[in-house]
Amino acid sequence: MESISLLLGEALSPYQVTLTASGVHGECLVTVKNPTGAIVVEREVDRAQLSDKRALVDVVDCLHRDLKIAEGRLEPSVIAALRNAAQTRITAQA
């Protein structure tokens, strides 16, 4: 778990990342703090996501997105529009 915490810390630098056990089914609480120590994002993830390389990349991508939203650099409505556009392209290709 320590190595995963270090990897998350590197991926989300300059933010501080801590992992703590949070559930009876293997969940972990990922807490992301800004350089001043204020909590910016907290997410609960399944421990299995942290041990699978592809799932870990997805966790990092989601945390990046959540950080952008929390900091006002990305609006949730923009995310919905991007998803809708991607789904429309997929449907058109099928």
Report DSSP state, residue 44: E
Residue type, 34: N
**pLDDT tens for each residue of 10-64:** 988 899 999 998 877 878 999 999 999 999 999 999 988 888 888 888 899 889 9
pTM score, two decimals?
0.73
The CATH class given to the 2-93 domain equals alpha beta
Q: Is 49 helix (H, G, I), strand (E, B) or coil?
A: helix
**pLDDT tens for each residue of 51-84:** 888 888 889 988 998 888 888 877 777 777 777 8
- Domain range list for the chain: 2-93
What's the rounded Cα separation, in Å, for the pair 21 and 39?
17
